[in-house]
Each structure stands twice: as structure tokens, then as C-alpha cells.
Structure 1
Amino acid sequence: MQRVRALAILALAAAPIASAFALPHPPPMQAGPAISRVHAIVVRTFPAQNGVAAASTIGKVEVWYDAGIRDAFAALAVISAAGARVDKRDAAIDKSDPSHVSVGVEPLTPGKYTARYRALSADGHLVSGAWEFEVSP
């Protein structure tokens, strides 16, 4: 009996130490609507994907996601058909809309361009991709 009591006391004494090193457990499943954790997806771009825009209308290239994204790893670059980077390297998340990222561009000449994006979703997953657009005179 005393041995059982001694083991119980040791187990209780060790519990705070063990819990300090334990990995967090997910919350228990609850009844009710399911919470969806998905990666951010692009819902709109400017210029439009596979679209054509007049050179005079493009001062920046923009992308909107379906949800806010994190600052870490947010990137947006614009590449000419010749492979030259033509953006101002100032990609930033809109402070009033965390689902919107834009980058300034130098005056674009007519031709095809590729916009490449990368973002860290709110769920912690990195998403990336590209879209093409054309600039007209």
C-alpha cells in the first residue's frame, strides 16, 4: 500500500515537469460546423490573368487572395518575356486589406509578362504560382 502511495506521489510530482516538455494537443472535436483550414487562393489579379492592359494603365501589379496572408514570405515579381525583372522590388501587403499584395512596376513596354507570387497562408502553408498578361500600346 505504501509503495502504491509513493508511486502516486512521484507521478504527481513529475507531472508539471513532463507537461513542460509535452507537445500541445489539438482541441477535442466538437459538434457543430466544421472549420475549414485551406491554403490561400488567388481570387483576382491586375492585370487580369491572360488579359491585356494598356501600358498607360499599369503603375503596379496586384493580386488578391481569398483570405489574409502573413507578412513572412509575401512576394510578387514581374518578369518580361526576355526574362528581365521589371518590378520595383517593393511588394507589400496592403495595411487595410491583408488579402491584397501589390508591387510597383517601371513603365512597361508592349509585350508579354509573367507575374510570380508567393504567400504564407493564415493556416501556415506556403502558396505560390504565376499568371501571364499582355501589355498593349
Structure 2
Amino acid sequence: MKSAKKFVLSALFIAATAGQATAWAHATLQSATPAKDAEVTVAPKEVVMHFNEDLEPAFISAKVVDSTGAVVSTEKAALDAKDATVMKLAVPALSPGKYTVQYNAVGHDGHRRKGEYSFTVK
């Protein structure tokens, strides 16, 4: 009886651990330019976001909004031609102020990740 109980507990532990590994495999923002909470003196011409895995090009999006919530970006986000972990978004000339980048990314696991971060143009 004890060996059966150990077997069941071991099987449950393995199943729980395997499920967590899958959950951790979502596309996650690793770094960006401008960086989160950055204060830049020169307005960027594009936002560049680096993720931990290749993204699905048909399911990515990003926009930049100003401090009033108005969308200031007019282009569509695109993957870097040489690196599918990099999403780029061209932005028009930005005036001094605080901006928020809002993004959606889907990795090869099919799970959508939404996120946002802000930067300031001085």
C-alpha cells in the first residue's frame, strides 16, 4: 500500500511540474528600446522590443499612446526580418512627455501575452 501511495504522489508531482514548465513557456518581454521607465533626451524613431522566444507575425500588435491616452503611433508593428524574437514599431516625431507602449505578442505556444511599459521624452 505504501508503494502505491508513493507512486501516486510521484505521478501527481510530475504532472504538476510538467504543467508549470508549459505555462512558463509564454512569450515574455525581455528588454526594449527605449527601456521601461527610461527618460530619453532624443525622441526615438522606433520602439524595439526583445522577447524570449520567436513570435507569430500574424498575431502581434503594438501602439504608443501619450499621457492623455491618445494613440500617437500610426504604423503596424512588425517582426525584425532577421530575428523573430524582435518586434519593431515605427513612431512619428514625439514631443516631450510621457508615453506608454502597449503590446500583444503570441509565441509558438499560441498564448497571447499583453503588456505595457512607459518611457519619457525630455
Q: Return the TM-score normalized by structure 1.
A: 0.69
Query: Does 1:55 find its partner at 2:31?
Result: no
- 2:119 is the counterpart of 1:133: yes
CA separation in 2, counterparts of 1:64 and 1:70?
14
- How large is the RMSD of aligned CA atoms in angstroms? 1.3
Q: Which of 70, 92, 101 does residue 106 from structure 1 map onto?
A: 92
2:29 maps to a residue whose letter is V
Alpha-carbon deviation of 1:95?
A: 1.6
Runs of 4+ in 1 over 4 A off after TM superposition: none
User: Greater Rg, structure 1 or structure 2?
Assistant: 1
Indicate the SS of the match to 1:130: strand
Structure 1, gaps ≥5 residues long: 1-33
1:79 aligns with 2:79: no
Aligned sequence identity (%): 31
* TM-score normalised by structure 2 residue count: 0.77
| Residue in structure 2 matched with residue 42 of structure 1 by the alignment | 29
Q: Please state which structure has a larger fraction of its residues in strand.
A: 1
Task: List gaps (5 residues or longer) in structure 2.
Answer: 1-17
> Which residue identity does 2:31 align to in structure 1?
R
